[in-house]
Amino acid sequence: MNTTTITPARMSGGELQGEQHAAFIRLAKLIQAEPDVHRIIALDCIDEEWHYLIETPFATFPRFVIGKTDDDNLEPSILFQCSAEWSAYEEWQHVIGARTGVDA
């Protein structure tokens, strides 16, 4: 089990409050516990869907993965995967911008 400290960032807005903050912490712990997750780079809730950007422990492909999931991480789906960090950040900006209508 991965024991990395959970400190995922929100990259698209302000502070989470109440139940959404609790759901954020709970989901971050669930995602971080997955064996293919080295660290969570970003985790954000857009239109009641959780989107994440993670780094995997793999030295090659896929090193970075963008996906979406439900509150319990039971139905994750991959939206994008790549080997280059810059490409992952660029795509994250596109995914979040497309969901919010503004560039993240």
Tell me how many degrees the CA angle 32-87-93 measures, rounded to the nearest 5.
75
CA torsion sign, 2 to 50 to 71 to 77?
A: negative
Residue 5 covered by a domain: no
Residue 44 covered by a domain: yes
User: Which residues constitute the domain of residue 71?
Assistant: 18-100
Residue range 2-27, pLDDT digits in tens: 433 444 555 455 666 778 888 999 99
Residue 32 covered by a domain: yes
Compute, in degrees rounded to 10, the torsion defined by CA atoms 10, 41, 53, 32: -110
Residue 3 covered by a domain: no
For 15-27, the DSSP string reads ---HHHHHHHHHH
Residue 48 covered by a domain: yes
Residue range 20-68, pLDDT digits in tens: 888 999 999 999 999 999 999 999 988 888 999 999 999 889 999 999 9
Helix (H) or strand (E) holding 54: strand 49-55
| Spatial CA neighbour of 5 closest among 51, 39, 49 | 39
Residue 67 covered by a domain: yes
Give how many domains the chain has, as a whole number: 1
